[in-house]
Structure 1
């Protein structure tokens, strides 16, 4: 359990050095194309998440390389490559040879753009974003942390299953890339021996466009533009012919349909409740425990943020009650009274170090949220370890499933216990991190970060001490900010670690190790 009083400043220095203080908004990760550390030839045998096996989607054999049709594709490709313009060269450089990174960055960009809380109307009432009227006002979605975690999970899981399928057929049919068929074709990236049919990049382009368009419906035109640019770059790089691309997009279509069918029935549409339901949840908590959280915003928002997110379908935990944390301290207990003094002491003796930590991990409105923060770390680690797209998609799928499950577990605890925040219980208390519109126990930052750090520690064991330290710092940052009790952070950290174990247990059995 983390130390609830002191976290060494070395952790924030390490984080700042790692991401160059660019975590609040999505940033373009500059990296040179690299030779993959492994081709993962057996990747088509790995266990997917949404489908039974990599061969579940039927893809026919490609044309033989000696066929007239294939040779025509090669000739057409060479002609197109001879006419590449400056804009196309920039696109080829941008997408690189690991587009999992690029599509994740696009998702983070959209999360930050839509992470804007709807304001009050002139009469003091509130109108919520409506998926049936995405133009609003207010525009749909409000990409708060639960929404962000869900969008990233569906994106990553669909990418992973799509690439497992692609890898299955790549090594079943074993058709080499165009630049390996014709020495006059110069490949834009580092060469590799991974077969080109079907195109893994085309799978990513199509499935990412489809999933993100469903999550951010006002961005369909932009996302289609990015898919088109990505697909063109796959051809002009010398890595694929059109038949590779067409087959890849077919896989992307089928996988995204399966992913979005799950999303349509996972319960998220009911997470933001009417006031009557929200009031009944609050009343039940008061009857159960004798306390309740009250929103102190002005004007008061009538409903807390997604009271039933804790009921959304989890990925790897069968029952959310299995990971529900212990009750928080009673309001007349010595533990609670001691925590009041701790919070007062921080507020009265705020140091530059504590303020810097609170600000660094804030991940508030207009940013890519705590889930996005950990995705950024994962992107850097994947490039550092020279992962191929399939191995990268696996990393992101397990990371984001664990983070979403952690968020569901956290929101279950928040509204089951409905525990008041420090600003509600300490007279005259002020925060330096705003006033979140949901109960205190447990801390979302703590639960999200602990779950993410455990998955990253599993996949990148050499980073285990580092990422676990970051998670503990993210947790205590919310105490420094004055919006959480120390037990929100300590119990939340344990909760996130417990939830992550379920996902890690699945990862250990998927055949990739």
Structure 2
């Protein structure tokens, strides 16, 4: 990889967008009147991620529209719609149009809720969250950036594959929606859902509930309530019969089971390694390079954050070493000393604008993390360009696959090079953005942001210049905050771009373009 100089690109448009986005929690969109830009009749032929093809999951054929069972379902639907409460009507408004956005918002909300560092015990020791005892204390999970991006990847990949399967059967059976069959039924959709079997919304509801429940077990009741509300809204929208919904649930259940089976064996359960393993990585770096990172936070946690996340299974890269960046400058070298001078200059000249940038991109505890930040941007563009659920799911799937692969590559570099942070080696140095509990090189924010920006630039080429400018701003923000060396950010940006290319190459060949 080439070490490129980050150029901070700020414009009035950039600042307007950034100030308009919520950081702590997702922004709940009102998307009534959301007419899809396309319907993708060939979407069932796109190449999925986890399954071989759209017909890999089986569902029964629907009853004919002239059958007694179908006609009875129509009557049952009209009765249910006639008895709708105001709460039902509000739920229909919330869930219709593009439920991919709604479940992404729920995921970001849970990530922010659980993004809290477990505190020390009275004796100064630490107890880690345990999925076998989610109530803790401390409660499981700690939704730090590696955990968050993995949640978002499995959620969006399950949604995407499930919708490819749904689209396959929609255009195989071509059963018209209830409001097409009976003109007395008024639908909440805007001519977006002419084919109803199976219900793509039901696929999303069931797959999302199952994946998120596995990732956030203490939220099982809340997520079940959201699924129930979503499924009822599909019926009351006038666009689906109960049999449409049941077929969609079958697909959602099947694809989420497949996704969670992969998750169970992807290596994440070993990422938060014990102290002996963590210490061995530091010793290996000391022997290899003559340095290692030391945690200087107070109180000091005995083990760095997820030392073995770099060994988790990647989505689009065969071997993480393919994406390992060039070594950082040797401590004491000319390049190192130049960076020391640069960081001291930033610390001595903290302008209002630099502090704003550092704070905006902090994405620390209690927020939806850097990967969540880029999901928020994706949602903005999905609404702007009126993507249908299938294309929305594709956007989130490739975005989060790329960022998860980027995070894995970044953590591999962090614990392979085990490079000290500025606060550890520059005497008297202070940060304005905390002290992360893992090595410095490369910058996670830089890698996540560059990977996310490249995917969004591919899917939304009209936005390429602005998303790449945001990624560079995110990278330099960590330098302004005193958290990272400049080369952590520059090389991390290149690393994120390089890793994202593997994902984008997969997207180029999935049949959607």
Settle same-fold status: TM greater than 0.5.
yes
Q: Residue by residue, what CA displacement relative to the aligned partner does 1:199-247 show, whole Å, maximum 9, x if unpaired?
A: 0000000000000000000000000000000000000010100000000
Q: For residues 83-162 of structure 1, what are the structure 2 equivalents within 5 Å?
A: 83-162=83-162
Please say if residues 422 and 485 of structure 1, whose CA atoms lie closer than 8 Å, have aligned partners that are also in contact.
yes
2:452 aligns to what?
452
Please give the residue correspondences for 1:108-507 in structure 2 after superposition, counting only pairs within 5 Å: 108-192=108-192, 194-507=194-507
1:194: how far off? 4.1
- Give the secondary-structure state (helix, strand or coil) at the position aligned to 2:88: helix
**Does the CA contact (< 8 Å) of 1:80 and 1:236 recur in 2?**
yes
Q: Shift of residue 193 of structure 1?
A: 5.2
Unaligned residue ranges in structure 2 (runs of 5+) = none
In terms of mean alpha carbon deviation, does 26-35 or 395-404 score higher? 26-35
Alignment correspondent of 1:7: 8
In 2, are the aligned partners of 1:39 and 1:194 still within 8 Å (CA)?
Answer: no
> 2-side partners of 1:15 and 1:471: how far apart?
13
Which deviates more, 87-96 or 138-147? Answer: 87-96
Match of 1:47 in 2: 47
Cα deviation code 1:137-162 (max 9, x no counterpart):
00000000000000000000000000
Q: Does 1:25 align with 2:32?
A: no
TM-superposed deviation, 1:32: 2.7
- Computed over aligned residues only, the root mean square deviation of the Cα atoms, in angstroms, reads 1.2
TM-score, scaled to structure 1: 0.98
Q: Distance in 1 between matches of 2:436 and 2:310?
A: 17
1:374-399: CA deviations, max 9, x gaps? 00010110111111100110111000
- For residues 424-480 of structure 1, the C-alpha deviation after alignment (integer angstroms, 9 at most, x for no partner) is 011111101000000000000000000000000000000000100000000000000
Distance 1:45 1:365 in 2: 41
Q: Runs of 4+ in structure 1 displaced over 4 angstroms?
A: 1-6
Deviation at 1:25, TM superposition (A): 2.0
Taking a change above 3 Å as real, the CA distance of residues 263 and 98 of structure 1, as seen in their structure-2 partners, is same
Q: Is the 8 A contact 1:9 1:353 kept in 2?
A: no
Q: Which moved more, 1:484-493 or 1:292-301?
A: 292-301
Once the two structures are TM-superposed, the CA of residue 165 in structure 1 deviates from its matched residue by: 0.2
CA deviation after TM superposition for structure 1 residue 195, in Å: 1.1
1:26 touches 1:112 (CA, 8 Å); kept in 2? no
Q: Deviations over 1:257-292 (max 9, x none)?
A: 000000000000000011000000110010000000
SS of equivalent residue, structure 1 residue 433: coil
Separation (CA, whole Å) in 1 of partners of 2:299 and 2:459: 45
Say if 1:21 and 1:387 are closer, same or farther in 2 by CA, change over 3 A: closer
Q: Measured at CA, do residues 82 and 407 of structure 1 come closer, stay the same or move farther in structure 2, by a change above 3 Å?
A: same
The runs of 5 or more residues in structure 1 that have no matched partner are: none
- Distance between the aligned counterparts of 2:407 and 2:91, measured in 1? 35
What is the distance in 1 between the residues matched to 2:257 and 2:429? 49
> Is the 8 Å Cα contact of residues 21 and 27 (structure 2) preserved in structure 1?
no
> 2 CA distance for matches of 1:385 and 1:108?
21
C-alpha separation in 2, matches of 1:217 and 1:97 = 28
- Helix, strand or coil: the match of 2:201? helix
Query: Aligned residue pairs: how many?
Result: 512
Q: Residue 124 and residue 475 in structure 1: after superposition, are their counterparts in 2 closer, same or farther (change >3 A)?
A: same
- Is the Cα contact below 8 Å between 1:291 and 1:420 reproduced in 2? yes
What's the CA shift string for 1:66-107, capped at 9, x where partnerless?
A: 111001101010011011111111111111210000000000
- Could you tell me how far 1:15 is from its partner in structure 2? 4.6
Q: 1:6: Cα distance to partner?
A: 5.4
